[in-house]
Amino acid sequence: MKVKEIKIAIIDLYNNEKNEGMRCIKEIVTDSNNYSDTQVKYNVYESRYKGDVPGMDYDIYISSGGPGSPFEDEGKEWEKKYFNLIDDVWNYNQTSNERKKYFFFICHSFQMMGRFFKFGDVTKRKQESFGIFPFKRTKEGSEDLLLKKLPETFYAADFRKYQVINPDEKKIKELGALILAVEKETIENSHPALMAVRVSKEMSGTQFHPEADPKSMMYHFSQPQRKKHILEKYSEEKYNEMINLLQQPDKIKLTRKTVLPAFLKEAIKNINEH
């Protein structure tokens, strides 16, 4: 029998910084009402800015990206509550015979997830990742519901000064986790970042932005100050390359309609089955 309502908590880690990410997440969650007859409702929690962290009375949690270091609020009350929530959901899923709870982590949240589960080293990058980049599925990623409908090399929006690298094989085995995607190795980046990890059947995340859409990215890059920043810090060639990639339907547009919708479809289906 299907449940009457599925409750989703969207955890906002943007710390009151202006962004398009939250709009995109809300749109994807709203669209999930089309996946079944079950009504989906969501609430937003501004955890970094207001210290507001959801409790255990939700079926699904989506934790956003955000600016700055994943260590900058170390020891603060909101972070303690946030880590307690992850711990509570993890333990609930390990011991409960009732329907499970689902959790998805994006970018900044992915780095927080890396800190919590300790499946890799969370470090500062030598050079900021800024733009649209190709990433590579692993063998496990090619079989996983999140990424299997993407090509082996897929494109996504990526804005990071920090990263999760050097996977701890012992910890990954202990968790039963799977690495689904990684950065492409380059001369400048001899330690490719982990770009998608499934910690369990119910908990997964991406270090890229699966919610980003061409509309939001075009808006982002067309702002005079942002455009000036890109031209000065990178190059006109880099700027034109990003604009060109935004216009291709098999790049971030495909990632947008694949990854997070796949997570929500599977979560809603499994919740209804239980």
Here the CATH number for the domain that contains residue 109 is 3.40.50.880
**143, part of any domain:** yes
**C-alpha to C-alpha distance for 110 and 103, rounded to whole angstroms:** 11
Tell me the whole-structure pTM to 2 decimals: 0.94
Beta carbons of 186 and 170 less than 8 angstroms apart:
no
The DSSP symbol for 192 reads: P
Task: Quote the domain boundaries for residue 117.
Answer: 5-213+253-273
- Residue 227 forms part of a structural domain: no
Report yes or no on 247 lying in a domain. no
pLDDT at 186: 59
Q: CA-to-CA distance for 196 and 146, rounded, in angstroms?
A: 9
Q: Is the pLDDT of residue 220 over 90?
A: no
Residue type at 123? T
pLDDT level of residue 187 (50, 70, 90 thresholds): very low
In three-state secondary structure terms, 240 is: helix
CA distance 245 to 224: 20
pLDDT band of 154, cuts 50, 70, 90? very high
In a domain, 190, yes or no: yes
Q: How many domains does the chain have?
A: 1
Q: Is residue 231 part of a domain?
A: no
Say yes or no to pLDDT of 4 above 90: no
Residue 177 counted as domain residue = yes
Distance of CA 206 to the CA centre of its chain: 4
- A 10 A CB-CB count for 229 gives 14
- Specify the pLDDT at position 232: 84
Q: Does any domain span residue 76?
A: yes
